[in-house]
Structure 1
Amino acid sequence: MLSVITCLDDTAADRLVQEITWADHDIVARVDTAHELIAHMKVRDLDGVVVSATRRHLSLEVLAEADDAGIRLVAVASDDADRRYALSLGLFEVVDARAPWSEIELLLRGGVAVPRGAAAQRGAGSVIAVWGPAGAPGRTTVAIQLAAELAFRGKTVALVDADTYGGAVAPSLGMLDESPSFAAACRLASRDSLTLAELERIASRYTSPRAEFWILSGIGRASRWPELGADRVATVLGACRQWVDYVIVDTGFNLETDEEIASDMFAPRRNAATLAALRQADRVVAVGAADPIGLSRFLRAHVDLLEQVETAEISVVINRLRASSVGSNAQHQVQQTLRRFGGLDDAVFIPLDMAGVDAAVLAGKSISDAAPRSPVRTAIAHLVDVSILPPSAQGTSRKEARRAARLGHKGGPLQTLRARRLG
């Protein structure tokens, strides 16, 4: 038997209350507003809440209280406007107002959950955090292209937008960002209801002839950052390890921990999502901009990064390399700067290609799809092949598999095939 509260408008209340009663469940309260609902959730021991997806009945405060109390919540939508409103709040458990109680009950009961703290149980998947300092050095562009290149090589990939200062993955790929699925996953994780089936239900899918990968989109409004707590982020990334081969996390820029000295030690921390992602990562791709200001910011922040990352390997990527900003022989100039002031060697350099990047953003696609001959794509493909994929996993794209099948009878080695493609 379930103990539930209903907060429904007239179109659904009478029918659902009757069906809940017939199913032998306990309705502990019937309320009419979000304010009343919050007051009852604070003092009641509940299994779930059924609420109409309207501003009168449902709010971010209701979702926050449900998360804190570990109460599962299902919204009932009378029309598309109601459904969009619930999705804009990050609530994905939404049913039609005519849906039978059995469908709502199934959502309230959830499923076999990924245990809280599952992030510590390292699965087969690998987490790669893409970080860079303030100043928009190109974190999102690199993260999207990393996901595309890994997917092109036949890997299952999830691209996670964990930037608490404003997610950009969804708009960069032409997707609506009013329904932040990463925030929804964090909410499910907070009440031990995150399953692999739930991840596939709430995630979006980027699909193209070259590559397909999952997307957990980020918050479109920066005010929603408290939803991305450190424990929640760690649990979601732990679940993603069990879900896909590679998890690419687009993080925020800020590594500051000064807020932790505040008097309220239990208050949420805005940078917690970034720090949690970096600490969970197997590899960090650190992105800097190839201009005097960008390099200065990168070198200062890189010191802070080393203090936060203990076990992950760090790959340095210098983006938008061009002679006009650093002088002739630009790559040599930047290499010397990195070596002298940061002790950094073996950076990957991405040339400036505004036309290719703009074409990708305009089309809402990865650079692989919008500008496959872009030097940006070539540089990131090199990073994937040399630093990320083990040698045995390289050259496994669908295109290469077909070529290998055609040429295999000639005894042509896989390395030769890959050399032809890259050459």
Structure 2
Amino acid sequence: MSVRVALSLPLDAEQRLAASAAHHGHEVVLRCSGGDELAARLPQLPVELAIVAATPQHLTPRLVETADVAGVRMLVVVDDADGARHAARLGILEPVEGPADWALLEGGRPAPVDDEPAAPLPEMPRTVRRPATVVAVWGPHGAPGRTSLAIALAAELATAGWRTVLADADTHAASVAPALGLLDEAPGFAAACRLAGIGGLDETQLERLAVVPRGARHPFRVLTGIGRPARWPELGAARVEAALAALRGLCEVVVVDLAASLERDDELARDVDGPRRNAAGLEVLRAADRVVAVGAADPVGIPRLLRGHAELLELVEPERVTVVVNKLRASAVGVNPGGQVRQTLARFGGIDDPVLVPWDPAAFDAAVLGGRPLADAAPRSAARVAVRSLAASLVPSPAATGARRGLRRRSA
């Protein structure tokens, strides 16, 4: 069947395909030297398919977005591992292995991605070049999206190549496991805390306790939370401290989902040295290298974030805190929602340069429905792009850490 084709390929491949198109019964209606040039002209022509090389010059974010809007199918051709990684960063899930040829239209081989782990997940090495970075995800009451953001961050860090563990330390309403469709009722983080308390949390035990979300494109390990809130005494401050210390030597990044409450009133009410419900969260905040404070972008969520942020700064140094405003939309904030939110936070909280995550309920609903991270459920979502940039800002650069690979920011 004849197909009207646009090309965004290196010159030699472009000339070869253009010269042989008629022989294979296809029509080349557009030849471009770069992805942005093709994106500008694509909506104006009756193109059914774009054959694109997986290089930064030929495959650009603008081209991916334009092809989606125009309904033009893309055949992305990779020639090496760098090309496969570039395609994956732009949300191209099924590139084909080159060289570019008309035979690929009849079904090419999927391109291998050298950093895509095979199932089962490979064992963690016995030595790690640097202690893990601990990222705590906290937010005030009112469902600002703490758990969704923690899962999305863990997935982005795993996608970048870091050995990542996601731990649920919420002693009030643990929800990482159901959000990822994990049916295991065993509280993995509580068990890890018990073992760490006696010096028994090692690679073998972590492998036994952690769960890997099924179907994740870039798997990460999950230490699930307590299934019943009444089990909160299992997460004592000393045990949590020991668990985090052990995990620092077993992976490269630890993302911890926390409860909203920062209250310490029980310390005043008790005259005995007993367990305290919020001790786990407070200990994580004390030990974390970076703290993500997330609030909802609406007339209720912003005041809650401002009050909670002031309380948070009594526990955590400001330089360790990154403020994230989630669910940003004009329908709840008004015209220019980003500008209004920034101005409000700067004026009333002294918060400069917050990270803004756009309102994308369809993307997050798809993630929850499928029990998958946002990066897998909606790789081209605007919310996913914002989370990815946030993840890149939280983890130290490989040059500073000596790590094998760092996050790369998505090109503009």
Q: Is the 8 A contact 2:197 2:243 kept in 1?
A: no
Q: Is the 8 A contact 2:176 2:224 kept in 1?
A: yes
Structure 2 residue identity aligned to 1:221: R
Cα distance in 1, alignment partners of residues 132 and 194 from structure 2: 22
User: After TM superposition, what 4+ stretches of structure 1 lie above 6 angstroms from structure 2?
Assistant: none
Cα distance in 1, alignment partners of residues 255 and 215 from structure 2: 18
Cross-structure match for 2:325: 318
Structure 2 residue identity aligned to 1:218: G
TM-score normalized by the length of structure 1: 0.63
Please list the CA deviations of residues 108-155 of structure 1 after superposition, one character each: whole Å capped at 9, or x if unmatched.
Answer: xxxxxxxxxxxxxx9611100000011111011110011111110111
Cross-structure match for 2:411: 422
Structure 2 residue identity aligned to 1:166: A
Question: Of residues 210, 226, 229 in structure 2, which corresponds to 1:222?
Answer: 229
Cα distance in 1, alignment partners of residues 250 and 174 from structure 2: 22
Cα distance in 2, alignment partners of residues 265 and 322 from structure 1: 48
Distance change >3 Å, CA 391–CA 191, structure 1 → 2: closer
Count residues in correspondence: 283
Distance change >3 Å, CA 173–CA 263, structure 1 → 2: closer
Structure 2 residue identity aligned to 1:191: I
Question: Of residues 180, 184, 194 in structure 1, which corresponds to 2:187?
Answer: 180
Distance change >3 Å, CA 393–CA 171, structure 1 → 2: farther
Distance change >3 Å, CA 256–CA 151, structure 1 → 2: same
Cross-structure match for 2:3: none
Structure 2 residue identity aligned to 1:265: V
Question: Of residues 138, 147, 160 in structure 1, which corresponds to 2:154?
Answer: 147
Cα distance in 2, alignment partners of residues 152 and 301 from structure 1: 31
Question: Of residues 270, 277, 294 in structure 2, which corresponds to 1:287?
Answer: 294
**Shift of residue 180 of structure 1?**
0.8
Q: Is the 8 A contact 2:154 2:164 kept in 1?
A: yes
Question: Of residues 328, 341, 355 in structure 2, which corresponds to 1:334?
Answer: 341
Cα distance in 2, alignment partners of residues 277 and 350 from structure 1: 24
Q: Is the 8 A contact 2:133 2:395 kept in 1?
A: no
Structure 1 residue identity aligned to 2:360: D
Q: How does 1:32-181 map to 2 (within 5 A)?
A: 124-181=131-188
Cα distance in 2, alignment partners of residues 155 and 214 from structure 1: 11
Structure 2 residue identity aligned to 1:359: A
Cα distance in 1, alignment partners of residues 220 and 319 from structure 2: 23
Question: Of residues 282, 293, 296 in structure 1, which corresponds to 2:303?
Answer: 296
Distance change >3 Å, CA 209–CA 259, structure 1 → 2: closer
Q: How does 1:387-406 map to 2 (within 5 A)?
A: 387-390=394-397, 392=399
Please list the CA deviations of residues 270-297 of structure 1 after superposition, one character each: whole Å capped at 9, or x if unmatched.
Answer: 0000000000100001101101110101
Q: Is the 8 A contact 1:132 1:253 kept in 2?
A: yes
**Shift of residue 383 of structure 1?**
1.0
Structure 2 residue identity aligned to 1:303: A
Q: Secondary structure of 1:285's match?
A: strand
Cα distance in 2, alignment partners of residues 348 and 177 from structure 1: 34
Cα distance in 2, alignment partners of residues 287 and 298 from structure 1: 7
Q: State the Cα RMSD in Å.
A: 2.4
Q: Is the 8 A contact 2:171 2:277 kept in 1?
A: yes
Distance change >3 Å, CA 213–CA 125, structure 1 → 2: same
Question: Of residues 367, 379, 386 in structure 2, which corresponds to 1:360?
Answer: 367
Cα distance in 2, alignment partners of residues 301 and 330 from structure 1: 21
Cα distance in 2, alignment partners of residues 159 and 378 from structure 1: 20
Cross-structure match for 2:65: none
Cross-structure match for 1:28: none
**Shift of residue 186 of structure 1?**
1.6
Q: Secondary structure of 1:151's match?
A: helix
Cross-structure match for 1:345: 352
Cα distance in 2, alignment partners of residues 193 and 222 from structure 1: 25
**Shift of residue 193 of structure 1?**
2.5
Structure 1 residue identity aligned to 2:294: V
Q: Secondary structure of 1:422's match?
A: coil
The unaligned stretches of length 5 or more in structure 1 are: 1-121, 401-414
The unaligned stretches of length 5 or more in structure 2 are: 1-128
Structure 1 residue identity aligned to 2:189: F
Verify: 1:254 aligned to 2:261, yes or no: yes
- Which stretch of the first structure deviates more once superposed, 301-310 or 336-345? 301-310
Q: Secondary structure of 2:143's match?
A: coil
**Shift of residue 176 of structure 1?**
1.2
**Shift of residue 393 of structure 1?**
8.5
Verify: 1:190 aligned to 2:197, yes or no: yes
User: Which structure has greater helix proportion?
Assistant: 1
Distance change >3 Å, CA 179–CA 246, structure 1 → 2: same
Identity of aligned residues (%): 54
Please list the CA deviations of residues 239-281 of structure 1 after superposition, one character each: whole Å capped at 9, or x if unmatched.
Answer: 1100110000001111011110123331110000000000010
Cα distance in 1, alignment partners of residues 216 and 181 from structure 2: 17
**Shift of residue 391 of structure 1?**
6.5
**Shift of residue 209 of structure 1?**
5.9
Question: Of residues 263, 266, 273 in structure 2, which corresponds to 1:266?
Answer: 273
Cross-structure match for 1:244: 251
Cross-structure match for 2:80: none
Q: Secondary structure of 1:268's match?
A: coil
Cα distance in 2, alignment partners of residues 217 and 274 from structure 1: 15
Structure 2 residue identity aligned to 1:321: L
Cα distance in 2, alignment partners of residues 322 and 311 from structure 1: 27
Structure 2 residue identity aligned to 1:382: S
Please list the CA deviations of residues 192-231 of structure 1 after superposition, one character each: whole Å capped at 9, or x if unmatched.
Answer: 3322321111111135463111100001211111111011
Cross-structure match for 2:96: none
Cross-structure match for 2:241: 234
